[in-house]
């Protein structure tokens, strides 16, 4: 198996690191782009030729006519969201239906999942996770529980699927009516809506594990696109305020079938500051005018839900943990331009808990809740960065910021993004 040309792009924080732009750029030099985790909870933004495209479940390589796009078995697919997205973008993504493969092993999201999640979050009140309400958690729970799960491959046997949906809805209705005191749902209505979606998707359903292993053996270059970020990883993130999938590079093997030893390069993506959506501890959060300024300058509102993102200083202590966990070869800093014009500039290099410094990123959410950031002050800059194309185009203070981040995280900075467009990118060899 050849590994040199295969790359992974993974978020090192709580998602929204602008990975979509980086995947779009790197897709030009890969043959295949693979999503391996999450579902349409993700929001990846790609901008070129003056237009902005928002993607949720189709890999961000779709705009390159040479790239085969694969939705791996580790993804949970909402068939309705997927068909919507194909229809919305196929005008700009030439031949998309012919070069999009959806794993027959991928699990699926149904109306009972989204409804159950909405009820559950509502009933949690203050203790809610703050999810995207896309049915992600209930779909992964059914996958693990097996009894009421449906995989994409089952769309290829419609009669079997129809009967299964009847069985599942009968069972779910017990939960809706007896636990939540809500109205039952109709299996016939679900089938009427989803049968045509299944027919649309059927030609794209394939054994993508076999396809990818063959492609890797032939030396085709594969780009793995992580959704969300390492701190939202179900096993390694800030549990329970995480998503339900393996959002770190650890998800590639189970989520695509391609063994991790086939990956040549892992690039971890961070913003020049840190954001988080939903509930959960966030030690460097700025609940003040500076946080608001970063939110406005960075347009920090969710791509999927429109929720305002919580903003704070760059947390290199958390990122260092994530960089080690993913064994990154380098990091990508995005949205550096957003920091222009701030009155002060800080990064977090460690935490104290109950007044004492901690050696490792806390594994316990109650400890993380009590963590206070150790902040280092750096020189701010006022110049706009959006026209920079090489490192030397950046003002001295911005170059010093990049260098300090590199030292604090312990990994070289390979790419710097200074704006949403493909062109607004600085590459370091």
Task: Indicate which residues carry an active-site annotation.
Answer: 16, 44
Shortest separation between residue 135's beta carbon and ligand IMP, angstroms? 8
Phi-psi bin for 267: left (phi > 0), alpha (psi -120 to 50), beta? Answer: beta
Nearer to ligand IMP, 34 or 262 (CB): 34
Q: φ and ψ at 327, to 5 degrees?
A: 50, 50
Which residues bind to ligand IMP, rule: CB under 6 A? 14-16, 41-43, 129-132, 134, 136-137, 227-228, 232, 241, 243-244, 277-278
- How many residues would you count in the chain? 429
Cα dist from 200 to 17, 87, 193, 194, 422, whole Å: 32, 11, 12, 10, 32
Those residues whose C-beta lies under 8 Å from the C-beta of residue 55, and which sit 6 or more positions away, are: 20, 42, 43, 44, 45, 46, 62, 85, 89
Helix ranges, 129-233 (H) = 136-145, 158-174, 187-201, 208-217
Instruction: Assign 410 to helix, strand or coil.
Output: coil
Nearer to ligand IMP, 309 or 346 (CB): 309
Nearer to ligand IMP, 228 or 425 (CB): 228
Nearer to ligand IMP, 99 or 107 (CB): 107
Tell me how far apart the alpha carbons of residues 224 and 72 are, in angstroms, rounded to a whole number: 10
Shortest separation between residue 357's beta carbon and ligand IMP, angstroms? 28
Find where tokens 């009972």 sit: 112
Cα dist from 42 to 20, 217, 342, 343, whole Å: 10, 30, 29, 32
Shortest separation between residue 193's beta carbon and ligand IMP, angstroms? 22
Shortest separation between residue 41's beta carbon and ligand IMP, angstroms? 4
The residue at minimum Cβ distance from ligand IMP is 278
Tell me how far apart the alpha carbons of residues 376 and 274 are, in angstroms, rounded to a whole number: 15
Shortest separation between residue 56's beta carbon and ligand IMP, angstroms? 9
Nearer to ligand IMP, 109 or 336 (CB): 109
Tell me how far apart the alpha carbons of residues 247 and 260 are, in angstroms, rounded to a whole number: 14
Nearer to ligand IMP, 198 or 268 (CB): 268
Instruction: Assign 75 to helix, strand or coil.
Output: strand
Shortest separation between residue 170's beta carbon and ligand IMP, angstroms? 26
Shortest separation between residue 241's beta carbon and ligand IMP, angstroms? 6
**What string of DSSP letters covers 260-296?**
GGG--EEEEEEESSEEE-SSS--TTB--SHHHHHHHH
Task: Reply yes or no: is the peptide bond before residue 160 cis, omega within 30 of 0.
Answer: no
Nearer to ligand IMP, 17 or 337 (CB): 17
Q: Which two tokens stand for residue 120?
A: 């559950």
């Amino acid at each position: 198996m050849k590994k040199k040309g295969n790359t992974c792009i993974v978020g090192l924080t709580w998602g929204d690191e602008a990975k979509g732009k980086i995947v779009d750029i790197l897709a030009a030099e890969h043959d295949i782009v693979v999503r391996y985790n999450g579902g349409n909870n993700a929001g990846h933004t790609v901008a070129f030729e003056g237009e902005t495209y928002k993607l949720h479940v189709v890999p961000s390589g779709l705009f390159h006519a040479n790239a085969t796009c694969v939705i791996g078995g580790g993804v949970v697919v909402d068939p309705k969201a997927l068909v919507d997205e194909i229809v919305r973008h196929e005008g700009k993504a030439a031949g998309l239906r012919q070069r999009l493969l959806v794993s027959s092993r991928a699990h699926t999201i149904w109306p009972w999942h989204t409804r159950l999640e909405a009820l559950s979050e509502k009933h949690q009140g203050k203790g809610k996770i703050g999810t995207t309400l896309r049915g992600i958690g209930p779909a992964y729970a059914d996958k693990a529980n097996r009894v009421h799960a449906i995989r994409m491959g089952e769309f290829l046997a419609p009669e079997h699927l129809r009967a299964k949906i009847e069985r599942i809805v009968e069972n779910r209705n017990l939960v809706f009516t007896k636990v939540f005191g809500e109205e039952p749902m109709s299996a016939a209505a679900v089938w009427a809506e989803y049968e045509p979606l299944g027919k649309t998707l059927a030609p794209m359903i394939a054994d993508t594990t076999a396809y990818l292993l063959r492609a890797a053996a032939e030396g085709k270059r594969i780009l793995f696109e992580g959704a969300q970020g390492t701190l939202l990883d179900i096993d390694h993130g800030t549990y329970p305020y995480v998503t339900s999938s393996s959002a770190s590079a650890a998800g590639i093997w189970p989520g695509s079938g391609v063994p991790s030893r086939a990956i040549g390069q892992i690039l971890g993506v961070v913003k020049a500051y840190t954001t988080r959506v939903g509930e959960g501890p966030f030690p460097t959060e700025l609940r003040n005018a500076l946080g608001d300024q970063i939110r406005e300058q960075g347009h920090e509102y969710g791509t999927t839900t429109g929720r305002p993102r919580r903003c704070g200083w760059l947390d290199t202590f958390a990122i260092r943990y994530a960089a080690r966990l993913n064994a990154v070869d380098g990091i990508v800093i995005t949205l550096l331009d957003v920091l222009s014009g701030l009155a002060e500039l800080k990064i977090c290099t460690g935490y104290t808990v109950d007044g004492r410094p901690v050696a490792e990123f806390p594994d316990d959410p109650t400890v993380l809740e009590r963590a206070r950031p150790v902040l280092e002050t750096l020189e701010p800059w006022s110049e706009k960065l959006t026209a920079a194309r090489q490192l030397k185009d950046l003002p001295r203070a911005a170059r010093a910021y990049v260098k300090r981040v590199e030292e604090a995280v312990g990994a070289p900075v390979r790419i710097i993004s200074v704006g949403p467009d493909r062109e607004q990118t600085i590459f370091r060899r």
